[in-house]
Amino acid sequence: MSEQREVARQSGTSLVFACSGAADVGAISDRAARRLSAEKSASMCCIAAIGADIQEIVAKARSAGAIVAIDGCSLECAKKVLEQGGFQGFAHVQLEDMGMGKGKSPVTDERVETVAQEARKFCCR
Ligand code: SF4
């Protein structure tokens, strides 16, 4: 088990941020994060609120037991927004690394579940 997973397992609430981009892979990232939130594996939070430095959401993220960022493509917008907000050491799932090409990966339940399954490994509840 990776160090990230061990930390997640031992701590409290998990938060998931998706890039939620306009591309098909962005939509898959969003759907996967919503799935984790619906099943209570993690709470989905707004990545835009981190970018906008909304203190309520930043504080929530700072107190999270684990953070999982899901990005649709190698531009890694969610990861960069979190890093610019001062977050480090969070788990990261990137769909191109999982063989889902941008513009070539229509949203399907199977793809959403594949991503959710990968992100779920880093959640602690
Ligand atoms: S990571 Fe890729 S898909 Fe997601 S918002 Fe950025 S450019 Fe769009």
In 3D space, the residue among 33, 42, 31, 44 whose CA is nearest the CA of residue 105 turns out to be 31
80-89 pLDDT, tens digit per residue, is: 999 999 999 9
Ligand 1 proximity of 30 Cβ (cutoff 6 Å)? no
119 vs 2, which has greater pLDDT? 119
Statement: the pTM of the whole predicted model exceeds 0.85: yes
Residue 2 CB neighbour total at 10 angstroms: 10
Ligand 1 proximity of 44 Cβ (cutoff 6 Å)? no
The whole-number average pLDDT for the span 81-108 is: 98
What CA–CA distances, in Å, run from 32 to 10, 74, 117?
23, 17, 9
17-69 pLDDT, tens digit per residue, is: 999 999 999 999 999 999 999 999 999 999 999 999 999 999 999 999 999 99
Ligand 1 proximity of 23 Cβ (cutoff 6 Å)? yes
Q: What pLDDT score does 9 carry?
A: 47
- Report the SS3 class of residue 118: helix
Domain layout of the chain by residue ranges: 3-120
Q: d(Cα 69, Cα 16) in Å, to the nearest integer? A: 6
Q: What pLDDT score does 8 carry?
A: 45
Q: In the predicted model, is pLDDT for residue 10 greater than 80?
A: no
Closest residue by Cα to atom 5, ligand 1, is: 21
